[in-house]
Amino acid sequence: MQQSNAEFMSRVTSIFRGGISRYALYAFAIALVAVLVATIAAAMLTGLPLTPAGLYAAQTHNPMLLALDAVPFIFALWGQGFGATFSSDTDNQRPRKRAGDDNEKVALQAEARRLEQEDALTGLANRGHFLKQLDAALQTAQLDRTRVGVIVLDLDGFSEVNDQFGAANGDRVLKSVARRLSNAVENTGAVLARLSGDSFGLAIDTLHSNGVLEDMAARIQDVLAPPCTLDKLSLNLAASIGGAVYPDHATDSYGLVNAADGAMQHAKAGGGGFELVQTALPVEDAEMHSLSAELRAAIDEDQLVLYLQPLIDIQADEVHGVEALVRWQHPRRGFLPPGEFIPRAERAGLMHDLSKWVLRRALEYNAALRKEGWSIGVSVNLSARSLLDPEFPDVLAALLAEYDVPSEVLTIEITEDTLMSDQRRTMDVVTRVSNMGIHISIDDFGTGYSQLTYLKRLPASEIKIDRSFVTDMLESDTDLAIVKGTIELGHALGLRAVAEGIEHENQSVRLRELGCDIIQGYYMGRPMPIDKLREWLAEWQLHHQSRAVAIGESSHSR
């Protein structure tokens, strides 16, 4: 009852809400005209004049006409009511429809947002969303002068799981890992995300001490410890974990994740476990803070320059190839040699992108030179990071295909140190790369501690005697013995011997006598940009034509 009263009241107010309706005006006008016509007719019938006074008299003499005067008002009221009903009916429909539309739109928007932010496989936040959340946390931390910790973890041996059990099982493992990690971070306030493949990230705000990161890493190892069953086989999971702290190791989300990633790679190279970024940002050198961000921009904006240094086959007196050596044309600091940014790029976890840039440019140059008739090889330096990346061989294959360069043209130079530091893991990638037909060169040979048994198994094509031995080989008997011994060792293992750092003619003469295969050094040619190399090649051809050396055909025999 109370409800029907209320309904009635709301109905009445709705009749007048929104002002006088046009239906009320029409009804009023029609009824008024009808009353007027009736009054005129009555006046004419009774012989009254058709003046306002006559019409008034007709009205007052006829009670029916007087009663009819109420009709326009009744009609107006009806019109108002009809209009309100009519419009409220359509109104009633419209909001319902609009609400439906809105709900659907809101739901679709929410779904799109979710898809944008979420990793489809695990349902965790994806890398982009993680970086955004981290940015927000860093802004707050900057204002509150608090610290933020980031953990990057990468499963150990996950590529083997994929290889042995198939991608579907790999996905199952990743889902299980995601669930376990969610459990580990539950109630800690940490943000968890899947960054890529088998790598996950964690952000912890208001970090009270670095010990919190260590504890979290231990917790992660604990939840991963119970074996995971796949096809009735139980699989032991472990992860390498890296940690970085704002503002000690980086000041932006990207740098922080990269720093933690670098620490993780370092931990992996050392056999797994947890590692915090070792080097704090030097507070006094504000420029260093932004170097990793700048280097990222340098990669994206092509500030890097690839120099090429000739490699000469001294036995055949031919140009064998070139070594690609990167430089950075920094907008403010000028021309930077690799020693000034490669170690930093390694720490910031940028080597993957940098190596990819170098490879791309090196192959692009090689393809161009090939078209001009110079079918020579190209050697590219790779850091440990790339070798630990199971996807690297695929990257290589894609780039070779893109530039249509035969794989045997490419030599990958890996320092002896890198190869020896994590033999099991590097062996995997090196083998895959070598199986593709790409040559492997052991760079800076003699500076590390090679195990001959490992060296024997390594599918390498050449050893590159370190410059330090070549420099003094004519003055120091010990260095000469090392150079001679290395050439012989290389040949005994079926490898090409390469010597670098040749600055004088007599060094090259001696190396040829010793049976060295390839030499490289300032004496023959410094590292130079591609256009200078073209001039250098033309000059070389001119001087060696008399000896009938066909650079075009046989220079790349191996």
Closest distance of CB 464 from Ca ion, Å: 5
- If one asks whether residue 350 binds ligand C2E (CB under 6 A), the answer comes out as no
Q: Nearer Cβ to ligand C2E, position 119 or 462?
A: 462
What whole-number distance in Å separates Cα of residue 365 and Cα of residue 278?
37
- Of 21, 292, 383, 507, the one binding ligand C2E (CB under 6 A) is 383
Closest distance of CB 494 from ligand C2E, Å: 23
Closest distance of CB 323 from Ca ion, Å: 6
- If one asks whether residue 519 binds ligand C2E (CB under 6 A), the answer comes out as no
Q: Site residues (CB under 5 A) for Ca ion?
A: 381, 413, 443-444
429 neighbors 392 (Cβ within 8 angstroms): yes
Q: What is the 3-state secondary structure (H, E, C) of 519-545?
A: EECCCCCCCECHHHHHHHHHHHHHHHH
What whole-number distance in Å separates Cα of residue 467 and Cα of residue 447?
10
Q: Nearer Cβ to ligand C2E, position 118 or 353?
A: 353
Indicate the residue whose CB is closest to Ca ion.
413
By rule CB under 6 A, what string of x and - marks binding of each residue 223-252 to ligand C2E? ------------------------------
What whole-number distance in Å separates Cα of residue 259 and Cα of residue 152?
9
Q: Nearer Cβ to ligand C2E, position 27 or 380?
A: 380
- If one asks whether residue 503 binds ligand C2E (CB under 6 A), the answer comes out as yes
Indicate the residue whose CB is closest to ligand C2E.
521
439 neighbors 461 (Cβ within 8 angstroms): yes
- Of 258, 381, 426, 434, the one binding ligand C2E (CB under 6 A) is 381
- If one asks whether residue 310 binds ligand C2E (CB under 6 A), the answer comes out as no
Rounded to 5 degrees, φ, ψ at 119 are: -85, 125
Residues in Cβ contact with 179 at an 8 Å cutoff, skipping those fewer than 6 apart: none
Closest distance of CB 449 from ligand C2E, Å: 18
Closest distance of CB 316 from ligand C2E, Å: 20
151 neighbors 249 (Cβ within 8 angstroms): no
Q: What angle do CA 528, 530, 531 make, to 5 degrees?
A: 100
Instruction: Report the DSSP beta bridge partners of residue 306.
Output: 326
Q: Which stretch binds ligand C2E (CB under 6 A): 141-149, 200-208, 332-340, 390-398?
A: 332-340
- If one asks whether residue 342 binds ligand C2E (CB under 6 A), the answer comes out as yes
Q: Nearer Cβ to ligand C2E, position 21 or 309?
A: 309
486 neighbors 456 (Cβ within 8 angstroms): no
- Of 338, 349, 393, 490, the one binding ligand C2E (CB under 6 A) is 338
- If one asks whether residue 479 binds ligand C2E (CB under 6 A), the answer comes out as no
- Of 8, 16, 454, 522, the one binding ligand C2E (CB under 6 A) is 522
324 neighbors 380 (Cβ within 8 angstroms): yes
Nearest to 445 by CA among 387, 377, 518: 518
Q: What share of the chain is helix, strand, coil (3-state, %, to 5)?
A: 55, 15, 25
Q: Nearer Cβ to ligand C2E, position 141 or 306?
A: 306
- If one asks whether residue 382 binds ligand C2E (CB under 6 A), the answer comes out as yes
Q: Which does 501 bind (CB under 5 to 8 A by kind): ligand C2E, Ca ion, none?
A: ligand C2E
What whole-number distance in Å separates Cα of residue 96 and Cα of residue 83?
20
Q: Nearer Cβ to Ca ion, position 313 or 443?
A: 443
Q: Which stretch binds ligand C2E (CB under 6 A): 243-251, 337-345, 421-429, 510-518?
A: 337-345
Q: Nearer Cβ to ligand C2E, position 76 or 412?
A: 412
What whole-number distance in Å separates Cα of residue 322 and Cα of residue 555?
12
Q: Which does 212 bind (CB under 5 to 8 A by kind): Ca ion, ligand C2E, none?
A: none
Q: Nearer Cβ to ligand C2E, position 134 or 519?
A: 519
CA-only gyration radius of the chain, Å: 41
Within 13 Å, how many C-alpha atoms sit on residue 546's CB side?
2
- How many residues bind ligand C2E (CB under 6 A)? The answer is 23
Closest distance of CB 448 from Ca ion, Å: 12
What are the start-end ranges of the H helices in 166-290? Answer: 167-185, 211-224, 253-269, 286-289
- If one asks whether residue 527 binds ligand C2E (CB under 6 A), the answer comes out as yes
| Alpha-carbon dihedral angle through residues 421, 422, 423, 424, given to the nearest 10 degrees | 170
What whole-number distance in Å separates Cα of residue 326 and Cα of residue 527?
10
- Of 138, 245, 326, 463, the one binding ligand C2E (CB under 6 A) is 326
Q: Which does 141 bind (CB under 5 to 8 A by kind): Ca ion, ligand C2E, none?
A: none
Q: Which does 127 bind (CB under 5 to 8 A by kind): ligand C2E, Ca ion, none?
A: none
Q: Which stretch binds ligand C2E (CB under 6 A): 141-149, 377-385, 394-402, 490-498?
A: 377-385
497 neighbors 462 (Cβ within 8 angstroms): yes
Q: How far is CA 416 from the centre of its chain?
A: 30
For 227-255, letters b (16+ CB in 10 Å) and e give ebebeeeebebebbbbbbbbbbbbbbbbb
By rule CB under 6 A, what string of x and - marks binding of each residue 412-451 to ligand C2E? -x-----------------------------xx-------
- Of 500, 516, 517, 518, the one binding ligand C2E (CB under 6 A) is 500
- If one asks whether residue 337 binds ligand C2E (CB under 6 A), the answer comes out as yes
Which pairs count as long-range contacts for 132-139, CB under 8 Å and 24+ apart, including other chains?
Answer: 132/253, 133/191, 133/193, 133/203, 134/191, 134/203, 134/253, 134/256, 134/257, 135/252, 135/253, 137/191, 137/203, 137/205, 138/246, 138/251, 138/252, 138/253, 138/256
Closest distance of CB 511 from ligand C2E, Å: 12
> Which structure tokens are listed for 260?
């933690």
By rule CB under 6 A, what string of x and - marks binding of each residue 388-417 to ligand C2E? -------------------------x----
Closest distance of CB 523 from Ca ion, Å: 16
For 444-457, letters b (16+ CB in 10 Å) and e give bbbebebeeeebee
> What are the Cα distances from residue 207, in Å, to 141, 210, 211, 219, 222?
10, 7, 9, 16, 21
Chain positions contacting ligand C2E, by CB under 6 A: 309, 325-326, 337-339, 342, 358, 381-383, 413, 443-444, 467, 500-503, 520-522, 527
